[in-house]
A = this chain, B = another copy of it.
Amino acid sequence: MPQQAMGLQLRSTVKKEGILELSLTSVPIPEPKPDEVVVRVEASPINPSDLGLMLGGADLSTTKASGTADDTVVTASIPPAMMKSMAGRVDQSLPVGNEGAGVVVSAGSADQARALMGKTVAILGGAMYAQFRCIKASQCLVLPQGTTPAEGASCFVNPLTALGMVETMRLEGHSALVHTAAASNLGQMLNKLCLQDGIGLVNIVRKQEHADVLKAIGAKHVVNSGAATFMDDLKEALVATGATLAFDAIGGGKLASQILSCMEAAAARTASEYSRYGSTTHKQVYIYGGLDRGPTELNRNFGMSWGLGGWLLTAFLKKIGPEAAQKLRERVAREIKTTFASHYSKEVSLAEALRLDEIAIYGQVSTGQKYLINPNKGLG
């Protein structure tokens, strides 16, 4: 029996003592079952949604490295308040990385699997910060000829989130959108998608430089929440677009409440009669991220027709069903170099992803700093 081939995988562990531990582990490359393939992962983005699992809420000012350069172990302290929400994962060594792309290097005996041999595919399913990922053939999205793994690395999380926002808008009877933290990679993608599909979009950013980024790519409505005129600017943009649905990546603070208030003020402009319960226009904000982990504060000066809720891509895809979801994926593959193209500030290897200076940068989740991991970089 030949020796089992091995591959490196990034692991994250939250220890019950309140310590995060990041390390690289050598794991066997599985033999694919008949309906499975093994993908050599060559590109996997570090999305904000990866960092929650990877960094476990740790205080990044406390990171320490030990071990050798190729076998580093990074540790950091997790504030006690964060540990409460970690109960379900304590002392488990978890693989990380939601999505990625690479080349199929071995395949099971089923036709659907064998047909993928040598193809460049995009995959979603966790454990992508690894040299190899064994996965069902049906979960592979074949990329168009001439697409590199780096170009196809972000086929799911951001593109499907952007498409999911637009589909949610349609399903719930709204006609235009508001988006916060709008200069993010996702925000720029949503902006391109809405321009392409002729959908009104109000982009809310926190800095003038982010407004400039969006205007440079053709955004029509950009409002800066840091400006003194924010509430008036937002109201005007809401009147202009008719947007009554917002997706909020911030979560904490007063922003969701401000959006609902401005939507209500925009609706009241067309109301003919006084009602102390406010307009009958339904106003909805979905929180899909938590860039501000603080509490959400609602002043409820927006009548009674409103909703606030969590929005999660996986729940949305489950709701629309596999056929509708597959159509969205196929659109992403077709437009991966245009509408759904992603940009990265840096490509790193698995070992480089554990360098403290790199963690300090990508751990900030700041607009314009997006990393791509190439798990096979520097490994021959």
Which B residue's beta carbon lies closest to that of A273?
B88
B307 touches A307 (CB 8 A): yes
Partner of A299, one of B295, B298, B307: B295
**B-facing mask of A40-61, CB < 8 A → 1, else 0?**
0000000000001100000000
Chain A: how many interface residues by the 8 Å CB criterion?
40
B300 touches A290 (CB 8 A): yes
Q: Among the listed stretches A228-236, A274-282, A330-338, which one makes contact with chain B, having 4 or more residues with CB under 8 Å of it?
A: A274-282
CB neighbours of A307 from chain B (8 A) = 307-310
A295 touches B300 (CB 8 A): yes
CB neighbours of A53 from chain B (8 A) = 276
Interface residue A327 (Cβ < 8 Å from any Cβ of B): no
CB neighbours of A299 from chain B (8 A) = 295-296
Known: A308-B309, A310-B305. A88 touches B300 (CB 8 A): no
Distance in angstroms between the alpha carbons of A12 and B199 in the assembled complex: 44
A298 touches B301 (CB 8 A): no
CB distance from A372 to the nearest CB of B (A): 22
B315 touches A280 (CB 8 A): yes
CB distance from A264 to the nearest CB of B (A): 10
B305 touches A308 (CB 8 A): no
Distance in angstroms between the alpha carbons of A297 and B308 in the assembled complex: 12
Known: A276-B53, A305-B315, A307-B309. A268 touches B298 (CB 8 A): no
